Amino acid sequence: MSKRALKKYLGTLEKEQLEEQILDLYERFGEVKTFYNFVFNPKEDKLVQDAKFKISKEYFPTTSRRPKARRSVAQKFIKHFIKLGLDPILLADVMLYNIEIAQAYSADREIKEPFYRSIYKSFEEATTFILANNLTPEFLPRMHKIEVNTQEQDWPNKYQFEKVMDQFH
């Protein structure tokens, strides 16, 4: 069904019928419930803190299990927050936090090449998002610190981070 056809259909319904359909969607689909819960009670700071905690557990588990260091965990949060329409400043904060925690993890460990490529991809996405939302003044110091860390830790792709940061100079 096209958006136009949906609009036409919704226009034929009475208020009570619309309310019933929305309630039905709310009960049936978790995404709809999540959306409405966010719209009416955002608690963005709590969502961000929970996400940061779960991301940090990927690299520094609180139990005796081995760190998994999966970038995908942070990416799921980021995609979810984009869908919800989270404040761009908070979203950029989560994006950079993911990279910073990964760098803290890699500081004293032997890491495989795919890890570096993956974190670079996250950095590229974060800087693009920050530029698109005019958040450079707030986040430039953190982005610069990330670039410096790649140099200090001698990452094999440190020149790529440098190249991304060149657009800010």
Question: How far, in whole angstroms, is CA 99 from its chain's centroid?
Answer: 11
> Quick check: 38 pLDDT over 80?
no
Q: What are phi and psi of 142, to 5 degrees?
A: -70, -40
- Can you say whether residue 85 is alpha, beta or left, with left for phi > 0 and alpha for psi between -120 and 50 degrees? left
pLDDT band at 35 (very low <50, low <70, confident <90, very high): confident
Q: What is the per-residue pLDDT across 113-162, written as a single tens digit (0 to 9) for each? A: 999 999 999 999 999 999 999 999 999 999 999 999 999 999 999 999 99
95 vs 98: CA distance, rounded Å: 5
User: How far does the chain reach from its first CA to its final CA, in angstroms?
Assistant: 48
At residue 1, the pLDDT reads 83
* Mean per-residue pLDDT of the chain: 91
41-to-4, 34, 49, 81, 99 alpha-carbon distances in Å: 30, 10, 16, 14, 29
> Quick check: 41 pLDDT over 80?
no
> Quick check: 169 pLDDT over 80?
no
Give the percent of the chain with pLDDT over 70: 100
At residue 94, the pLDDT reads 96
Domain boundaries, the chain: 1-41, 43-166
Q: Compute the residue count for the chain.
A: 169
> Quick check: 89 pLDDT over 90?
yes
pLDDT band at 103 (very low <50, low <70, confident <90, very high): very high
